[in-house]
């Protein structure tokens, strides 16, 4: 039986055995299942600033995990080996929510404060995020989500009770740019508005030369963020050639600082990254 996946903006209509655009979800006997559930491709104890989070437990370490799959197609993806992979295309090992929560507790002696779901798009496998985060929270530890923010709002509601902080990618502030990436600006804006009501949110905009590096666009973006809460931190980050964008030069450092200065007219906390 054909079934429509409701997890994100794409609403993939899948026949039995067919995988969605994200490569992580599949129609199995008429039901959409998370094929990537518990399949961990990346596992590291990272400084929280690498998420990046500047204003949430600065100086702490956090156990960071990723799976495979993503519902965008950013040509500059830094983790394309896993985010653009499907089952069997990236080396993975199964780790149950119980096992991951236990490992998070074991790493406390090394300064770990919890679990960060990151590296690929975690919400393509939101059930694993929910199930693990519930256990981590019960153990008195923190949960962090690094996401592109294009999941359906009902998915956000499922995980919000267990998430302490998010870094959400705001790729740019033009709908046509989001369409190039396979996404939706309006969907991300709605996600940010809802998330910021109930958890600590920081935003990241990667500045890609010739794509989203216009000062007027950054001012419009920052003004919108400020209309929600001018205390929301924004990370303005330098692009480096990667994946399908090896033909571009890295963003000029002075351009990153110029855009950060423009954003600072509307926001209290603007940080530069990769400079």
211-221: pLDDT as tens digits: 999 999 999 99
Query: Alpha-carbon distance 33 to 56, whole Å?
Result: 33
Query: Alpha-carbon distance 193 to 189, whole Å?
Result: 6
Of 86 and 37, the structure prediction assigns the larger pLDDT to: 37
Model pLDDT, residue 85:
87
For range 137-163, the mean pLDDT = 98
Model pLDDT, residue 88:
78
Query: Alpha-carbon distance 63 to 149, whole Å?
Result: 21
- Angle (CA) 108 110 116, round 5°: 60
Is 90 exceeded by the pLDDT of residue 1? no
Least confident of 77-81, 249-253, 258-262: 77-81
Is 90 exceeded by the pLDDT of residue 89? no
Confidence band of 249 (pLDDT split at 50, 70, 90) = very high
H helix count then E strand count, the chain: 8, 14
For range 173-195, the mean pLDDT = 97
Is 90 exceeded by the pLDDT of residue 257? yes
> Which residues, including other chains, have CB under 8 Å from residue 161's CB and lie 6 or more apart?
none
Query: Alpha-carbon distance 155 to 192, whole Å?
Result: 13
Is 90 exceeded by the pLDDT of residue 87? no
Phi, psi of 130 (to 5 degrees): -60, -50
Confidence band of 54 (pLDDT split at 50, 70, 90) = very high
Q: Is residue 75 classed as helix, strand or coil in its secondary structure?
A: coil
Of 89 and 135, the structure prediction assigns the larger pLDDT to: 135
> Which residues, including other chains, have CB under 8 Å from residue 84's CB and lie 6 or more apart?
23, 70, 73, 77
Query: Alpha-carbon distance 230 to 217, whole Å?
Result: 17
Query: So where are the chain's domains?
Result: 3-273
Mean pLDDT of the chain: 96
pTM: 0.96
Is 90 exceeded by the pLDDT of residue 70? yes
The domain 3-273 having CATH identifier 3.20.20.70: the answer here is yes
Instruction: For residue 216, give Cα distances in angstroms to 179, 194, 239.
Output: 20, 25, 19
Is 90 exceeded by the pLDDT of residue 90? no
């Amino acid at each position: 039986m054909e079934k429509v996946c409701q997890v994100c903006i794409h609403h993939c209509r899948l026949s039995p055995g067919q995988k969605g655009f994200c490569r992580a979800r599949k129609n199995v006997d008429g039901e959409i299942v998370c094929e990537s559930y518990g399949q961990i491709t990346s596992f590291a104890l990272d400084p929280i600033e690498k998420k990046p989070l500047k204003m949430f437990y600065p100086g702490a370490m956090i156990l960071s995990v990723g799976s495979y799959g993503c519902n965008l197609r950013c040509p500059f993806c830094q983790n394309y080996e896993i985010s653009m992979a499907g089952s069997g295309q990236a080396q993975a090992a199964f780790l149950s929510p119980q096992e991951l929560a236990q490992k998070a507790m074991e790493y406390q002696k090394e300064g770990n404060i919890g679990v960060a779901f990151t590296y690929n798009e975690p919400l393509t496998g939101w059930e694993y995020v929910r199930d693990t985060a519930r256990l981590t929270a019960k153990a008195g530890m923190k949960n962090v989500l690094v996401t592109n923010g294009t999941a359906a709002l009902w998915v956000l509601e499922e995980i919000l009770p267990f998430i302490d902080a998010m870094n959400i990618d705001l790729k740019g502030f033009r709908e046509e740019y989001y369409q190039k990436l396979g996404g939706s600006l309006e969907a991300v804006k709605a996600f940010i508005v809802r998330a910021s009501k109930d958890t600590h949110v920081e935003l990241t905009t990667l500045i890609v030369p010739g794509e989203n590096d216009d000062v007027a666009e950054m001012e419009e973006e920052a003004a919108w963020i400020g209309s929600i809460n001018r205390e929301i931190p924004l990370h303005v980050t330098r692009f480096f050639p990667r994946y399908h964008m090896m033909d571009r030069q890295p963003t000029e450092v002075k351009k990153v600082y110029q855009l950060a200065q423009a954003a600072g007219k509307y926001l209290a906390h603007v940080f530069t990254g990769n400079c």
